[in-house]
A = this chain, B = another copy of it.
Amino acid sequence: MNTRRNSVVLSLSGGLDSTSLLLKYLSEGIAVHTLSFSYGQRHVKEIVCAQNVVKMLKGIGTLSHEIIDLSGLSKVFGESALTSNVPVPEGHYADESMKVTVVPFRNGVFLSLLTAYAQSLNIGRIAYAAHLGNHDIYPDCRLSFVIAMRKAIWLGGYMDNVPCLEAPFLRLSKIDVLRVGIEYCNTLGLDWKHVFASTWTCYKGEESACGKCGACIERLEAFEKLGHKDTIKYEHC
């Protein structure tokens, strides 16, 4: 068995998308080495969720998890609404107001770190859960960026030890990500309500999800359009 190709390093935020991607790899029998990044996000709660997800899924495949402390990067990332006191805007991702939630080149930084980690472990694949819903606002979630970054990684790493970047959800909407996530749960014999109840999406990181930020709105829409009810707690429900 080619262990380089049967293992992947995955960026696991603790949200619905990266959890679905983790489920996909596990359902394919791939060994998954996950990294969660603590970069000063106000919704740091998502990292606890990532830990809970990993705990829940650990028995069903080869799965590791490391939390990487990037608190030293506060100066680098500057004042995004996700990393400072700038208020988190309410409304849809496509709204102009959502631009303050951009953490500059965040996925460029994260993918570089996944690459370094994959090379250290001699693993042939790295992945993140960018999907269609992110495209409007986040340039580092678009196909053109994925292709360019894959090439940069290819050229910047040793050829005998270079990981290939993949983003299998790039052509899927948030609804589709949830749909396939539910399917992977079924394949693995897991209760999807239980699994997704352990994920965190809201940008605000309060006790309950706000239900009003771009991330919450998109998540709620996905559940609604599939005819399901989200199992996490919202502020006004």
What residues of chain A have their CB less than 8 Å away from a CB belonging to chain B?
35, 38, 66, 68-73, 75-79, 102-109, 111-113, 115-117, 119-121, 139-140, 142, 144-145, 148-149, 151-159, 161
Contacts and interface: CB of A to CB of B under 8 A. Distances in A.
B117 A75 contact: yes
Given A139-B158, A142-B155, A105 B109 contact: no
Contact of A116 (B66, B71, B76, B115): B76
Contacts of A161: 104
A140 B72 CA distance: 23
A139 B154 CA distance: 9
Given A66-B75, A102-B158, A157-B139, A113 B109 contact: yes
Copies of this chain, count: 2
Given A105-B157, A108-B116, A152-B151, A73 B68 contact: yes
Contacts of A116: 73, 76-78, 103-106, 108-109
15 contacts: A71-B72, A72-B72, A73-B113, A76-B116, A76-B120, A78-B116, A78-B117, A104-B116, A105-B112, A105-B153, A107-B156, A108-B152, A109-B109, A142-B155, A149-B156
A9 to B, nearest CB: 10
B151 A79 contact: no
A86 to B, nearest CB: 12
